[in-house]
Every structure is written in structure tokens, then in C-alpha cells.
Structure 1
């Protein structure tokens, strides 16, 4: 298959998708190997896999950089003779599409070029951040970067691999395959050849390694005493935990080693000048960020007596011990890293870890399944483009008349001695029993599709307490054991078989058929096995399933490697040890009821994102509706973050400018205030953003008051500038047949409305008092901003009881927005239709926003971004165009008023309430100088923990 891919390289993109041509190249590759001793080749399976691979593509990355002090150096001539990368590329092509490997090559070249030439004389220090998607191949990226860095001449490579032994051990094993080419042994001597060794077995290029895959294989004092490094030697690899003791040992060895050959004349510290250092920080937002609050003088000078948190300080000291150093953080949740202060520095630790040199947003291959694909993206009528894979669960908590009680199998908040009890017995709830059966069926169906030798995993993540996990493990083990006995012995097996058949017929068959219509990149629809095929394979597959508890030790890395020939089928039970970095190979089913709403923590817990070639239709996520909603918010926030990044990168912005922008953006309140280095206050800016109410207070007094605020505003504005606006557009004209628009309204009227409108209290993206303060500050600038407003009353919806505002303004239709918050709250997914943000745009301004959208658009299936021609501008570019369209005048803001139909709120509104529920959205222009205007918000930590959960 690797040879066939090589033969396809010269073909056009169009030809690469032709099955006949792929089959021809596969037959040719088989004939080239005819004289070799080959095992039996399954031609059809090989062809299907190649067709799948050839349908994949890899979008380009986006990079923001600051080249101050940097010297360009990476030329084709400089890369001549590099062998570490060449053997890794050949190794990867055994599993990945050649197009994906080619893009990985290009992407890591760009990262390496942004570092410094290790052969460059003098002192230099480069710090960057690579942002990927959860479970999207970040390890492949930094493995390739390590190979190229070693080729280029970096001598010491330190990989910071999480907080737990299991993740460190997993990372060690992966780098043995991708970089070392041998299994590490306790005596640090090269062991059994693996991975890249078989692509180039020359022992003269084998890297050295100071750590091993064992439980106690981390860097320790005994190792430090028994080896030395000289500049002429092959590169040394250290794979270490982010642990105070381990990092302290490593720092002591570096500082006490004979290569520490120079003393800094200013600080007196000893530094290494002849060994270029590369530090790779995996999960860089976890433990590496200094959560201590450093003080700064009025002119921004940091307090030199500040003591950083232990791990952050040790990482910085290690970097500061080398005159030539490069630091590259990898994460899928970069929020905390972006919030690092850009000028932090202390005399002992040196600069903080802000990615001053570059931030790179990695694209994911077209077959990546991430939050935007699983849950879709927000739209005014609900989420759009999601996959039908989530299953709602609610039986983990006891209920009475539909309301949750303080008892149940797994309460949202429970103690460490909690005993999971369902219906008075220590047994699994029906939802978890079904989830386990769905996992078994997924394994069976994969076997029927020829994937029986592939790994298959199930994740059960319901608690962070080890003792409670033991109870869950015992119950799961007991349940699976009984199933195995019934099926294998065929005693009392009828009910079990009937349950499996019901789940297959009612869930799997229709879901597989539906997925075949929406998932196109896997080389065509997957075979749906018949029930007879499933029933025949069931006993064998069920017998192969193992139950494991993941506690964080190296023994818990799950023995995927040892079972690579037959495939490990495992149900993994764990808590926070599963939530960071640890990869569950072939993850098919997830059962997830953790309650944190912290965006970065929750995203990292989403281990089910990743690649599911040939079995995505068999995957299932069993979780609560509330968590589905929150993961939807994550998809939206991540997309907004990436769109902001794409726009600023296209404008040539530097990482420091992006940090300032995101740090003050209200949508990015996505990580603990502690990680934002501001435990007391948040500083927000609304410039260039869309603020919209999506959660509403529904007591009668608030509903009445917010409606009165809108009525007063309409009365103050007088006769509308336009009734039923209509606008020329490229494809077809847009019209708002029941809406009204007022232009050039003074900011006083808008401020009065906001002061009267009551938003949900607590930490929220939209807060009327904070928005009011922001507008007031913008008004006070010289020249003044946000003094002019256009205001739209948007009443596009089904007919209802007419409602009179003022000045003969009567609304007879209410926009409908469905409640996702249940009986206790009125919460909607999204309020504003993107077209509404341009209701006040004439054609030329709208067209300018559309052209900018096309310029910055990247095809990216992982973000639900297709190749289709754009028919309308993005909200981001509409807000940019507000400024561009206001020549000689302050850019107008747009306030949109939505009188929502009360029927959409269901039982969340008082009985008998038949008037509109008043909602609003504001489209803030991207105003020059506006980014610098921020308003402070006092953080209520009790509210934060109640709403988002404790920081983890």
C-alpha cells in the first residue's frame, strides 16, 4: 500500500479519486513485490483502505509570528541528507495518506523555520505555541518536529509529557517508534528494534535516550550520575513528567554538569553554550502556566521578587540555563497560554512561557471528527451539521415526578466514599448497560467489516474519585462477566440476545444508513452487516473484551502495542487521569457524566474526538443533554477563536497582539480565572464582537421590565427610518418583511435601554451593565466612538397575537427560538441569524465584507468548513466592514431587538404569559482604538464554581 501511494504521487487530484487507477497502482505494487516472501494479501481490503486514504486531504495551517531577532535559515540545501525525518515519513506512510504526510512535512518545516538554526552563533531564545484539535495528531506533529530538529543539530530534546506516569510512558513508547527506533530498557541500552528502525537500521544514527518506558523510567538521580553528553554526540532525548521532583533533578543535572561551561556576566548563572536545546511541552496549558499573580508597576515593569509556581518556574529555569533554546508548546485548548503576561520575567527564571515568537493553528485532516462535526455549529433554528451519534442519559440520578433527587447511581456532586446504587441495588443503570452493549456491537460490526484486528475502546468517565471508580469497575466487570457466560454457554441467553438485536435493529441500522448520507470522505458507504452476521460473530468478540481501570500509573497505558496484531478490545474506566492527553485507540463508545463546564477542561475530557476510519457510524456518545449543550458551546467558542486568529494572521498581526485581543474578548471566558493570571477581575472588550442574549430570567417582573425597556426605546426613537428593509445581494435580494430599522440613533437611547434591561446575573458573556460601561468608555474617547447606532426590531416569525410597542409600531409575528434549558430556565442556542447583522448594509458594504470572508476562508472539514462558494459574509467580516463603511464618521453599532415567541420557552415562563420575551443582540464594529478599551468585571468565585465547576 505504501508503494501504491508512492506510485500515485504524480497523479492529479482528480485521478487520485479514481478507483480504477488506484486498483491499477495497487496491482503494480504487488507485482513489484512478487519475488518477496509476502503474506497473503487481501486485495479488496487494501483497495478499500487506499480509496479511503486517497479521499483525505489536509488544509493549510495558519500562523501568526514575530520575527524580531530571527534569522531565516531553513533552505533545501540545509535539509540535504536529513535521515531522522526521512525514515519517519516512510514509517507514517504505512498508515497515513501520502497527502497527510506531505502536509505534516510542510507544517513541521514551518515550525522548525520559526525556531532558530541550532548552528547559529550567539545567544537566542524562541518560544511558540502549536494549537491542534483534541486527538487530532499533535503527537505526530511534535514527533516529526523532533526528528527534523535532531537532523538540524539540536542536541538536547526534552519532552514534557503530562503529569502522570501513564501519559509519560505512552509518549515514551510513541517516540521510541517515531524517533529512537528501539525499545528502551531499564539499563538505558537500546533494546528490541521497532518503528522507524525498519526504515533505516543504521546504528550510527540511533539517538540516545535518558528515560525509559517503565513505571520508574523517568529521569532520576541514578541516571544523572552515570552519563555525560558531549557536543559531538548524537541527540539525547528526555521524556519527563511535569513533576516538581523530576524537573528539579533535571535542572540540577544541567546546572552541575561539565557542559555548563560559561558564566553569564550579568546574572552570574552558569549557562550551556554548546548544546542547542529544544523543549516540547505537551498539553502546554496544563500545569505549565504560572497561576501566581505577578504584580506590575504603572509602566508595566514586572515585580522581580515574584515566585512563579513550581513547575512553571522549573521549566523556565531549564530554558534559561541554555544560551540557545527553543520552546514549543502543544495544546488543543490554548486559552490559558494566551493569557500569560507577555512581559513577565524574573532574574532566576527568565521570561515567562508566552508564545512570543509564533502561534500556529494546525489544521486537521479531512477525516478528523471533532466537536464542530459531532455537535454542529450554532444557527438560529438550532445546531446545524452535527452527527446523530449522541444518546441522552438521565437515569444516573434518581427522579421524582421528573425532578432530580439527591440520590442515585452517580450524582453530579458526590463524595469519595459514594457507592453507586441504582433502584436500591449496586448495579449499573440501564443507560450504561446499553452503552456497553453498543460497544460490543461496534466491535462485532468492525469485525464483520474486516477490522477485527484493529483496537477498539470504550471510555467510562463518571467520577474523579479512585474509590468510586473501583466500585464502577466492579459493577461493569460483573455485568460483562454475566453477559459472556450467558452467550458462551447459551444458558438464559435468549433475553440477552434479544436485547442486542433490538439495539442493532432500532439504533445501529438506521444510524448507519443516516451516516452514509452525511459522511462522504471515507470512500463510500460502509457495509451494514446483517443480524445473522452479527449474531454469529458476537460470542467470539465478547470473549475478547477486557475491563481496565485507569489510575495514572505506567501499567495503565493500556497494552495496545502488545496487542497490535490482534487488536485490544477494552473498556477503560477512569477520571481525570483519562482526561488529559491519554489516547484511547479505536475509541468507539463513551459514557460521560462529569459535570465541569470549564471549556478547556471539558474539551480535554472529550477523548472521543479523533479519527474513526470505516467505523464512525458505529460510534456512540452517551451523555446528558446539558453536556451536549456545553460541548456545542465549545464548538462555537473554538470556531470563533480560530476565525479571530485567521483574520488577524491575514492582517500580519503578532502573537502579542492576538493575546491582548483574545484576553479581553467576552466569548473567551473559557478557562479558570486563576489560569488567566487574574484571580479577582476580568478585563473585557466588546470591540469587533457579537453580544447576544441566549439565557433569560423568566420571572414575571423581569419579563415585564425588559419589555418596558424595549417599548421605551421605540417610543424615544420615533418613526422608523425604514419599514420592511430590503437589500440587494449577489444571489438573491434579502428582505425583512415584518421588521423595522432606525438609523443614526444617539448612544444615549441605547445606554438607557441597556440600563433598564436585566440580564442574567453572574459571570456571563452578555451583561448589560458591563456593556453599558464599555459603550460609555468608547463615547469618551477622542475622537468619540459608538456615538451613532442603527437599531433593528426583528419580527420575522410565525403569526401570533399582535403586540403594540409605540409610535404605531405593532408586531404581529414573533421570532421562534426553542428552549434547551428545560422547565427551570429559558436558554437558546443562538439568537441572531448572520444575515441580520447586515440588515443596515447597502450592497457595496456587504460586498466588501463578502470579499474579505472569501480571502480569509479556509476549507476545513474539522470546522465544518466546506469548499462551497460563499453566498454571504461572515459575522466577523461584517463587524470589520462597519468600521470600513463609516468614512469620516464614527462607525455605527447595530442593536437588534428580538421579541421572541413565548411558546418557545415552554414551561420556563409563568403560566398565562402571552407577550413577547424581549431579547437583544449587539454587533460591535471593529473600531480602531476600541481593542484598547476594556471594562473590568469582578469575578464572583462562588458563582464561577457553581456555574463552571472547580478548576482542574
Structure 2
């Protein structure tokens, strides 16, 4: 098939369908696609002869099903003049050709969303034509492997069109990531390949769309591994305001940044500050894009402010932070935009950090934009599940027991460790299984017509390069053994029988399950083993094993294999852990046990887009990692909810402190980056707490059941749950309700109930302490208590009340506990709301809804029922516009019994019911807290508590 003809037809067809959909005011249907293709075929018959028409139709159907959620931006208008309008966008050429270039790569809905998102960010920057001094600093929060490079490439194009003259992209810490970013920007912005030793640089990407050399930007760096900014190049470079924009793609490296700073001071500066003597650039507006801005850029020094919260103007920031700030400080007109998927370190930057020599710190004081995830994005919330998304136990994840890898690669090991499996120099059986899974994935993709696409496997088991080299040899040896068996049919019978059974009994059914849950708008074909077997020798022969680290000479040369598609197993460590894109990533074998939110999230290179092959993707990782990532998914969701709440309140980045959930083993980010974070005096106000970790031992389970029985017995006679204040049409609960239970009864129950030691957030004695504290302000005095079961015949009784137990299956196996994903149903927190409260909470839920954000389980339609966070906010704050008063005196305790026989935990079968509970606290302005070192807050939050915020 002629790929260029296919792309051309695809672009034209997509535009025709877009216009047809808008004209007819209807969604795109298969019938509409056929109708428009027939029209197109009349004018492009020759191109249609060179393409696969069925593949074109499938791609158009897939694209027409994609949606993109709505972004949320929180901003400050301080020293900002609104400027971006239709007139300012006329005649923009860089964005026009980039948009056309992306048409074949994105559905039109995603392209529209990219246009909107880049406009939103650009509008928060300053007009580069504005005279005088100005400084805007912001943060764009995306998702891991979600297309952030494509987003900031679009922003760069628009910024250059608007008049920004110097554009610096800080692209990670390693040469290969910098080079990868340079290649992407060659294609998306420059329009030519920045070959280091070429005189006539060939057109690529947008340069093939518009060959006008008069608009070519200038490149100060090139795509080779050694193509970073250097002194030889700097000596030849002269910049004036009349020239086209300059692009610098550089590493976050001391030497490189010092070269850049020297060049700015000595070759670019056009003015000297008469007071400070600082050399300044007044005629060239600067845009700095800081990719992975939480990595390397954050000042990890001490004593940014004094004990009164005043900035230490003589503080010495850490090297990379100091140099980035110094570059910015030499320009009178500048904008800084950090991009990250893991903003935990960024929100710990002190908002008042500033020195005379280096200027303000990189706190995003101007804006924070939270990008929504497209419907086809697969992130931690969908892979691992969060409290509001994704069923558990998808075959996308293959949990590894310790016995399947520990003797080969212990969690803790030194650089001299030599991995051996059963005493032999080979990979463990679980990694061999993962390699075979990758082979099946490559075979299925080839049979689906995706053989010319890249396919990758990630093996990340140690940070030590010497160990990685050993693993490369072991993996290569296994692949070579399979290759020899299939090419020469020697000793093949047992291996072929194993692979046939594995494919038919495990891999193929797993594909169907994944499609049923996660795949929408795609017709992905299955294939019999005979089809797979017929191409296995060729598939295995194409696989390459590469070592990717600081000492290896291997490279992921995707660009050199564009025509045939690279089939690669990449073994590495830190270089694979952040920023580096693994094209067509299908299979991951991941044992690295970092204990920081941001590091773990960035190591998760399996997140991203898997159009056409999500069902063949597999992740092999430890049970502990699965649990950690589930927790991180919840922490990231909490953070995004805070963003939405701030936006709804019309707040600025400096007005709200963000809290990030902590963990008994994990840390939020490196301790150095958290120098401005302090252990919080914790408040549960506005929170939902639910027990999701329980003992495996029947003895404490029985004790907890008796504690719950005593508690409910003390409450007296209940009413039917459906006799609560307001029951919306169609809603019904099964169970009992008590109103006006005293806080002492609730506190007594919490002190008797023993939460599991692994329940790092739900600690019942601490929660009891918190309620006692709030009682001193007259809050949480009265309680609504609900005993909630499911519909059906009662199978248990507690405190004399028959109830039907809930089914909650374990998430992963643990020797010491029974863990579930979530306890309550979303609507349970609406129990006992009045009609006004229900409507007010629904209104707030619709206000903070982010349309179609799949990663956060947001639907395509606004919520029709109030959501928990907004219920708690309405009960705490009221809603003056809807005549709803706060009810901070009342808390909600929901009780449940879980069926031990449905837990899938053998030791629990036939034992006592698992008594579980959830607490829903209204929001509050009370300053009452309890001490808990497991929550960390940033400078704005604890500055508020100490009265340091303006």
C-alpha cells in the first residue's frame, strides 16, 4: 500500500466528514463515511487504486469515535493584558502547516482540542509585541505518554507566529531524549532535518507541506546525539530582532546551560541595567518550554525563605534551577511554561522563592492548565484502576508472585549482582513468557496489516548498567533459541505445543476481555493459532534486542526503520524511565521498585495510545507495584479534583495549597524537592474515607463485626433507607437509616474497630481524634448512619437487622490482607440529602465535570446524579444561589457487610462477615487538625496556615 497516498486520502476524507457532520448536525456514521468516500473517489481515483480501502474505512470509523475531555485552567491576571483574538491569529503560517501535518495523525476532534488547548496556554502568556518588562510562568499538566510533545510543538508554532523570537526547549537530562525531541520539532516546527554535517538540509514534516524557505525558523541545535548547543556554534550565531525565530533544543545540563547563558550575555544582550549591572535582552521576547519540568529543574536547596516566610534574596539555588532562572532573568520580556505529567515536585516549589541574582523561582504563579485525556488514552486510572474507574483484574496486567522473579532479580540488589535462574545464566520463566507474549502481539499486529508499524517491548528490572548488559544477553539468547527452533524446526515440538496452548487458552481470551472493557469504536480481529504459526518464523526473525543506557551504543532507531517498522526489545534503566518514547509499546516487564510518586509514574512507559492493538498489550509486574500504582492513580485523581475545585472557585495558583496523598512506603517525590513541604496537621474535612484493606485472619474480622454489631445496637430503631429526606426518581437503596446518632457513639465505634496496619490512610483512632476536635467547634456532632446492602434476599443479620452482603473481590493476592478497590457505590453519599441539597450538589458536579476525560472516568454527557466531592462541598459550604445552608454539624457513616465467600480469599471462606465502613465529611473552614506525618503540604498551604499568604 502507498502510505503517502493513504495519508493524503485520509486527510481529505477526514475534512470532508467533518464538514458533513457540521452541515448535517449529526455524528459521523459508517453510512456517512461511505457516502463521502464515494465523492472523494471520483476526484482521486488513482490514489484509491494504491490504498487499502477497508483499512481506510476502519481508520475513519476509529477516529470518528474519539472524544476529548475539557481542560481546566486556573490563572492569575496580575500584570497580564488579554491579547489573543481572531485578528492576532490572521496570517499565521507555522500553526497552519503544523495543523495540516497533524491531520493524518489525529482525529479531527483531537486536532480541534489541540487548537483549543494551545490557544488557552498561549493566551495566558503575554503578547510578545507588548512593550515594557513582563514575566509569565505557568505549568501544563498532562498525562504520561499522552502527547505533551505534540502539544508544546503546537504552542511553539503559535508563539513563533505571534512574535516570540527565541524559543528554548529544555528536553530532559540525556542525549537520546534531547535528540528525540529535536527530531519531533524538526518535523513539527522547523520543517527540515537538522543533520549535523549537511549543507542542504532536507525538508521533513511541515517542510513537505510548505516549502517556502523564507519562513524557515533558525536552528541552534541539531538532531545528532552530540547536537546540543556548543561554543563553536555559538561563535557563529548572531541574532537580531528582524530575523526569523530561533529554536534551541538543549539538555538540562550545567555545561550546556552555562554556554547558553554566556552567549546570551555576550552576543544577544542589548542593554545593561544601570542599577544592578545585569545585561539584559530587551528586544527579543523569550519563550522557555521546560519538558518534564519536575525533573532537574526544581531547586532542591535549603532555606529559600526565613522563619517568617520572607524570601532569602541571597539564597543559592541548585545548579540547573539557578541556570534556568538566570536565563530568564536576562530577558525583560519572557514566558516560562513547564510541562509534566507528574506535578508533585512543581507544587512544592516555594511560591515566594526569589533572589536578586537569579530572579523568581519557577513556581507556576501565572497559570496551571490541566489537560484532559482523550477517550483513547490508557493511563494509570484505566490500567490499574482508581477509586472511580476501571474494573479490576484485567488481563492487561499479569501479576508476578515474588517466587517468579526474586531469586533472579531481588528487589534490593547491588551493581555486582549476577542474575541466575535455577542456577543457570538465563531469564526467569516469567520473562520468557513475557517475550512470547510480545511475539504474539507482533504476529497479531502483522496479520492486522500493522506489520510496518513499530512494535516495542520494555524490560526494566535494574538501574545498574552492568546488570542490564547481562539481562540483554539472556533475553537475546532466549530470542535466538526460539529463532533457531522455528527456522530449522529443531527440538520444536515441545516449544510449539507450549506456545499454542498459551496463545489459545490465555492470550486470545485475554484479548477479548480487554476489548470488551477498554476498546471502543474499533473492529479488532482475532486469529487462529494456524494463522499465527504461519508467520512466527518471520516475526521472531525480525525482533532485535537493544540495550538502552548511558554506556551502551545501541539506539532505538525508529526513524531509520520507518518503512518496515522496528521490532525491538529494549532493556534499560533510567534512560527508559522518563520522557523517552517507546514506539508501539506492546509488552512491559517491570520490576523496578522506586518509591516516589513521580519516578514510578514516569517509569510507566506503558501508558499512552494503543489504537488498533490495545488488546495485545501486556504488563508483567509485581503485586506490590500493582498496589502502589493503584494508590498513585488515586493520588493523581485527587490532585486533578483539586484543580477543578480551584477553577470552579475562580482561584489563582497562589490562593490554594494543594495536598498530595502520602503512603507508608512511598514518598511523593524526592526529599530534596520537598524541602518546602512539611508534615501536615491533618484535616479530614471534605474527604471520603473508606475501608478497603482488611485482615486475612478471622479473629480480628470477628472482633470488628462485634464492634459494628454493638454500635448499631446502641442506635435504637432504624427507618427504611428509602424513607430518607429525598429519593430521586429511579433511585433505591437496600438497608436501614438512623438519624441524629451522637458523635460519641461514632467515636466509640472507631476506637473499637481495628483498621489494618497496611491501611496507610484509614486509621480509625486518628479519625476518632479528628471528630473529637471538630466537636469543639460544634461540627460533626450529629450523624446519619446507614447500613447498606444489596437487593435480594437477606443472607446475614447484624444488630438484629437482616441485610444482604456485598460482593467485593480481592484486587491482588496478599499473604496478610484482603484488599479491594472500592467499597461504596457512587450514589451512596447522596443518602439523606434534601431535595435542595441534592440539586445543589448536582449543579456543582456539572460545573466541575470535564467532558469525556476517559482517564478520570468522565462520561460524554454531564452527570445526572451528584458526585461525592460536590456533595461534601455543598454540605460544608452551602450554595447561596440555590438557597442551601451549610450543615457542618452532620457527618455520614455508611456501614456494609462483605461476603467472605465472594472475596476470592480461601482463608476467609465460611468465616465471619467483613464489617466495612465509609465516612463522608462535609467541607469545613475550621482550623482543627490532628497530627499525621503521612500527608505533605506545599508552601502555599502551610503558608496559609501560618498567615504568610498575601
TM-score, scaled relative to structure 1: 0.89
Query: Which residue of structure 1 lines up, in the alignment, with residue 857 of structure 2?
Result: 864
Change (3 A) 1:558 1:522: farther
Query: Which residue of structure 2 lines up, in the alignment, with residue 921 of structure 1?
Result: 918
What is the deviation of 1:35? 7.3
Match 1:133 to one of 126, 143, 150: 143
**Cα separation, 2, equivalents of 1:934 and 1:342:** 24
What is the deviation of 1:227? 1.5
What is the deviation of 1:816? 5.3
Q: Are the equivalent residues in 1 in contact too, given 2:347–2:658 (CA < 8 A)?
A: no
What is the deviation of 1:542? 1.7
Query: Which residue of structure 2 lines up, in the alignment, with residue 17 of structure 1?
Result: 28
Query: Which residue of structure 2 lines up, in the alignment, with residue 950 of structure 1?
Result: none
Query: Which residue of structure 2 lines up, in the alignment, with residue 726 of structure 1?
Result: 723
Q: Does 1:745 align with 2:742?
A: yes
What is the deviation of 1:714? 5.3
Q: Are the equivalent residues in 2 in contact too, given 1:183–1:194 (CA < 8 A)?
A: yes
Query: Which residue of structure 1 lines up, in the alignment, with residue 391 of structure 2?
Result: 384
Q: Are the equivalent residues in 1 in contact too, given 2:218–2:247 (CA < 8 A)?
A: yes
Task: Give the stretch that moved more between structures: 514-523 or 74-83.
Answer: 514-523
Counterpart of 2:202 in 1: which secondary structure? strand
Counterpart of 1:409 in 2: which secondary structure? coil
What is the deviation of 1:593? 1.9
What is the deviation of 1:935? 4.7
Match 1:655 to one of 646, 653, 656: 653
Query: Which residue of structure 1 lines up, in the alignment, with residue 869 of structure 2?
Result: 876
Match 2:219 to one of 209, 212, 216: 209
Counterpart of 2:324 in 1: which secondary structure? helix
Query: Which residue of structure 2 lines up, in the alignment, with residue 415 of structure 1?
Result: 414
**Cα separation, 1, equivalents of 2:301 and 2:719:** 54
Q: Map 1:228-377 onto structure 2 (within 5 A).
A: 228-263=238-273, 265=275, 267-294=276-303, 296-297=305-306, 299-377=308-386
**Cα separation, 2, equivalents of 1:343 and 1:777:** 32
Change (3 A) 1:274 1:744: farther
Change (3 A) 1:600 1:518: same
Counterpart of 1:622 in 2: which secondary structure? strand
Counterpart of 1:308 in 2: which secondary structure? coil
**Cα separation, 2, equivalents of 1:801 and 1:863:** 35
**Cα separation, 1, equivalents of 2:164 and 2:554:** 32
Change (3 A) 1:3 1:185: same
**Cα separation, 2, equivalents of 1:190 and 1:237:** 18
Q: Deviations over 1:388-411 (max 9, x none)?
A: 32223236647xxxxxxxx61122
Query: Which residue of structure 1 lines up, in the alignment, with residue 486 of structure 2?
Result: 487
Q: Are the equivalent residues in 2 in contact too, given 1:745–1:790 (CA < 8 A)?
A: no
Change (3 A) 1:262 1:514: same
**Cα separation, 1, equivalents of 2:180 and 2:511:** 33
What is the deviation of 1:230? 1.3
**Cα separation, 2, equivalents of 1:377 and 1:463:** 27
What is the deviation of 1:44? 2.3
Change (3 A) 1:934 1:264: farther
What is the deviation of 1:855? 3.4
Q: Does 1:440 align with 2:451?
A: no
Structure 1 spans left out of the alignment, 5+ residues: 399-406, 942-952
Q: Deviations over 1:567-598 (max 9, x none)?
A: 11111111222111111111111112222353
Q: Map 1:793-872 onto structure 2 (within 5 A).
A: 793-794=787-788, 804=799, 815=806, 817-819=808-810, 820-857=812-849, 858-867=851-860, 870-872=863-865
**Cα separation, 1, equivalents of 2:552 and 2:569:** 17
Query: Which residue of structure 2 lines up, in the alignment, with residue 67 of structure 1?
Result: 77
Counterpart of 1:151 in 2: which secondary structure? helix
What is the deviation of 1:559? 0.7
Work out the number of aligned pairs and report it.
915
Change (3 A) 1:302 1:501: same
What is the deviation of 1:685? 3.3
**Cα separation, 1, equivalents of 2:393 and 2:218:** 46
Q: Deviations over 1:294-338 (max 9, x none)?
A: 354465312333332222222222212211111111111122212
Task: Give the stretch that moved more between structures: 695-704 or 837-846.
Answer: 695-704
Match 1:219 to one of 220, 223, 229: 229
What is the deviation of 1:190? 5.9
Q: Are the equivalent residues in 1 in contact too, given 2:218–2:245 (CA < 8 A)?
A: yes
Match 1:193 to one of 188, 203, 208: 203
What is the deviation of 1:192? 2.2
Query: Which residue of structure 2 lines up, in the alignment, with residue 521 of structure 1?
Result: 520
What is the deviation of 1:198? 0.4
Q: Map 1:427-826 onto structure 2 (within 5 A).
A: 427-519=426-518, 521-523=520-522, 525-552=523-550, 557-658=555-656, 660-662=657-659, 670-678=668-676, 681-696=679-694, 718-719=715-716, 722=719, 724=721, 726-727=723-724, 728-737=726-735, 739-743=736-740, 745-746=742-743, 748-751=744-747, 753-754=749-750, 758-760=754-756, 764-768=760-764, 770-772=766-768, 774-775=770-771, 778-780=774-776, 784-794=778-788, 804=799, 815=806, 817-819=808-810, 820-826=812-818
Change (3 A) 1:470 1:554: closer
What is the deviation of 1:90? 1.1
Q: Are the equivalent residues in 2 in contact too, given 1:666–1:684 (CA < 8 A)?
A: no
What is the deviation of 1:869? 6.7
Change (3 A) 1:708 1:253: farther
Q: Does 1:168 align with 2:178?
A: yes
Task: Give the stretch that moved more between structures: 428-437 or 45-54.
Answer: 45-54
**Cα separation, 1, equivalents of 2:111 and 2:893:** 48
Match 1:937 to one of 932, 935, 938: 932
Counterpart of 2:179 in 1: which secondary structure? helix
Q: Are the equivalent residues in 1 in contact too, given 2:21–2:28 (CA < 8 A)?
A: no
What is the deviation of 1:894? 2.1
Q: Are the equivalent residues in 2 in contact too, given 1:131–1:333 (CA < 8 A)?
A: yes
What is the deviation of 1:260? 4.5
Change (3 A) 1:810 1:95: closer
Q: Does 1:90 align with 2:76?
A: no
What is the deviation of 1:902? 5.8
What is the deviation of 1:41? 2.3
Change (3 A) 1:500 1:836: same
Query: Which residue of structure 1 lines up, in the alignment, with residue 941 of structure 2?
Result: none
Q: Are the equivalent residues in 2 in contact too, given 1:214–1:554 (CA < 8 A)?
A: no
TM-score, scaled relative to structure 2: 0.89
Counterpart of 1:335 in 2: which secondary structure? coil
Q: Map 1:100-111 onto structure 2 (within 5 A).
A: 100-111=110-121
What is the deviation of 1:731? 3.7
What is the deviation of 1:270? 2.3
What is the deviation of 1:537? 1.8
**Cα separation, 2, equivalents of 1:586 and 1:821:** 30
**Cα separation, 1, equivalents of 2:227 and 2:686:** 50
Q: Does 1:32 align with 2:43?
A: yes
Q: Deviations over 1:464-493 (max 9, x none)?
A: 111111111001101111111121222223
Q: Deviations over 1:679-720 (max 9, x none)?
A: 6624533221112233346779966876676577557x6535
Q: Are the equivalent residues in 1 in contact too, given 2:280–2:330 (CA < 8 A)?
A: yes
**Cα separation, 1, equivalents of 2:105 and 2:715:** 67
**Cα separation, 1, equivalents of 2:789 and 2:456:** 49
Counterpart of 1:730 in 2: which secondary structure? coil
